[in-house]
Every structure is written in structure tokens, then in C-alpha cells.
Copies of this chain bind each other. A is one copy, B any other.
């Protein structure tokens, strides 16, 4: 959200500085390392202004001066000094909550994974138990953090519906959770008080792929996630499509075949009953206890079975509806759709071409995630970092330093 959507407010000069500093940091974050000269042309500001902003970031301990990288030297002229993420700079904790495991990582600006840990999670486990496991992983991951580095916040990716106003997990079908305040649970288990952001895993996958994956520079992007359930995250105009409550993107229950199998939502023939994990597992005779690892199971296939081909066609046909509705430029296939697409890509493309309207079809591309299976994890880092780009000074002012000591006490 380069320019945050203000609700008809005016702008004063204080806001300018905030905005410019945040935008500058967002560019550094996106590129990892970038020269001042590039920044001036990207942001359309004067050299001296950029110099001032960069200086402020350095004095905040966020970035540091870097000599120009070797090679890639173009043209004459004095080489421009680089801006690089500081080694002891701010970081966030990202949590990717899956139905059978949790992944936790410490992630710095630029999307660098500094440390990671994972643990199995009992599906149908109580929320407080899962919260305790996650808290333990967080402790492990903060272990080696420099004491001076500030913790900006925690971002959590959730396989379910998350209310955007307060981050309450309204429904996580495959964890059998209803109305769980998981953010509060984790904070209580840690004994910390830092900003926590929660969001749907597909939404975060879309965000991450947009920022540093297969959709860099693409402002109309959809991430379709196959993860037991089927969901989508939508980026439009460069921003996440959240909906009024935060529940947008529930494509799993699109009407697909009114005479089809019953769905757990109470209807018949939802798309999920054709391309959901349980449906695919049944089609390839995968034992029910391995449904959560469907991605690996599919990756083990050499050639697609006829049943998988049918599934591929159904996937493509369903994607057609999404393409007609959103007219995206890129559709990223995440979760087990990744290995499914490598198996039956032809059928998927055929199904899509068959059912999509010509105009939206001609501008869309199907793509595999540029971040592999880490998209939701990195998306969780992104939402946790977000305050830094809105107001770096304020975000760092309220960030937590010397986290290890606080966790010990």
C-alpha cells in the first residue's frame, strides 16, 4: 500500500515525511539493495531529498551504506552509493499455521529468512495447545537474534476465515476452530505484548507472490491455494482484496456441479468437491491420513492418471469463472495445485481456455509460485512489516528490543 488509502483526509507536511520515508523503505525492502540514484528516479524526488531520507533511515538503524555492487556498471559518471538493509535491523516473526504442522521464521526486511523452525501440530488440537507449540517455536527462532535488533511484530497465516477488524479466527474448518482469538493465545503464551496480525493463508500467499514472487510488478494477481480447502487471495490495483469482513476469496464453494457430491458447507457440488484435497485423494486412492501431505503425494507421481486428468479439467474450468470475474494478469497456483499443475497442466489450460471469455483470457497467465511453498509464510512477514512502511519512526519507536531477555524473564 504505497500510498495508504486515506479516507478523504487532507495531507500536511508531517504526513509527507512519513509517507516518503515509508515509501523509500518499501523500495529498499523490495529490492534488498538499491542505489540512491535509482531511488531518486523511482520516487521522483530531488537528490538532496533522497539523501536526507536515506540519512534518517541510517540513523534509525534500518539501513546502512553499501558500496556499489561489482559488475552491472552502466555508463560513465560517479557511481551511486547503495542502500542496504542493516544487519542488526528490525525483524518480524512469521507463522504459517498448517493443518498438520506449523512453520515459524524470523524474517528481516527484504524478506530474508534469518532463522526458521517447524513442528507437527495435532489436527483437531485445542487452540491453546497449538498456541503453546507456536510459542515454543518462536522462542527457538528468536534465540540467536542480535539483542539490539527490534522486533516489529508477529504475522500469522491461518487456513481459515479471519475477521479483519480484530484478527479473530471465525472458522478454520480443518482445525475445527470456531471464533478463536489465536493472536491473544500466542501472546499470552509468550508473555509479550507486540502487534499481531492474522490473515488468511491464500491472501498472504497472494501478497507474498506480489511482493517478491511470480507477480512482481503485477497489480492484478490471484493466488489460488489448494490446502485441504480451496481458497483464493486477490490483489487488485496493487492492494489486497479483503472484503467487508475480511472473508473475500472463498472460491471453494463456487457452484460447479449442482448434481455433484455433498459438501461440508451444506450444499452440493461446490468446486471444492471436485478439486479439493479430499476429492483428489479419493480419485488417486490416497489414504485419508495423508491428505494433509497431498502436495508431496502428488509430487511422487510420474504420469497423470485418468482421474487426475479429469480433476485438471475441473480445475481449469473453475479458474475460468475466476478469470471472468476478476480479469487478473497472473494466476498463481499454490499449495498442492503446484504439483497438480505440473502433472496435468495441459488439461488445466484446456479447461480454462474452454470456459473463459476471450477478452479476459488473452491477458491472463497461469504461473507456479515463485516462492515455492513459502508464500504464506513470507506473506505473514509482509503484513507484520507493514507498519514500518506506513510510518517507520512510529513503528520502530514502539518496537521491542532485547526480546530474548524479555522472553527469559
Contacts and interface: CB of A to CB of B under 8 A. Distances in A.
Interface in A342-365: 354-355, 357-360, 362-364
Contact of A360 (B20, B23, B245): B245
Contacts of A239: 5, 237
Interface stretch (A42-50, A105-113, A116-124, A296-304): A42-50
A211 to B, nearest CB: 12
Contact of A236 (B49, B236, B251): B236
A193 interface: no
A266 to B, nearest CB: 8
Contact of A245 (B4, B170, B232, B327): B327
Contacts of A236: 236, 241-243, 248
B357 A265 contact: yes
A226 B43 CA distance: 44
Interface stretch (A7-15, A138-146, A378-386, A394-402): A7-15
Interface in A15-32: 16, 19-20, 23-24, 26-27
A135 interface: no
Contact of A244 (B5, B220, B241): B220
Contacts of A244: 220, 327-329, 360, 363-364
Interface stretch (A89-97, A279-287, A317-325): A317-325
A257 interface: yes
How many monomers of this protein are in the complex?
Answer: 2
B8 A5 contact: no
A5 B237 contact: yes
- Identify the interface centre among A249, A257, A357: most chain B CB within 10 Å of its CB: A357
Nearest to A218: B244
A243 B43 contact: no
Contact of A45 (B2, B10, B16, B248): B10
Given A243-B328, A245-B359, A8 B20 contact: no
Interface in A251-269: 251, 253-259, 265, 267
A171 interface: yes
Interface string A217-238: 0001000000000001000111
A255 B325 contact: no
A11 B16 contact: yes
B253 A357 contact: yes
A45 B14 CA distance: 12
A238 B5 contact: yes
Nearest to A21: B10
A326 B243 contact: yes
B326 A241 contact: yes
B5 A360 contact: no
A370 to B, nearest CB: 18
A256 B254 contact: no
Nearest to A362: B245
Contact of A327 (B26, B246, B329): B246
Q: Closest 6 interchain pairs by CB?
A: A243-B327, A10-B43, A244-B329, A10-B45, A248-B327, A220-B244
27 contacts: A3-B5, A5-B237, A5-B238, A10-B19, A10-B43, A11-B16, A11-B19, A12-B16, A12-B44, A12-B49, A232-B325, A237-B241, A241-B241, A241-B326, A242-B327, A243-B360, A244-B327, A244-B328, A244-B360, A244-B363, A245-B362, A246-B327, A247-B357, A247-B360, A255-B255, A255-B256, A255-B321
Given A8-B26, A241-B241, A253-B357, 17 more contacts: A8-B27, A8-B43, A9-B23, A11-B11, A12-B49, A16-B16, A161-B357, A237-B237, A237-B239, A241-B326, A244-B363, A245-B359, A247-B327, A247-B360, A253-B321, A255-B318, A257-B258
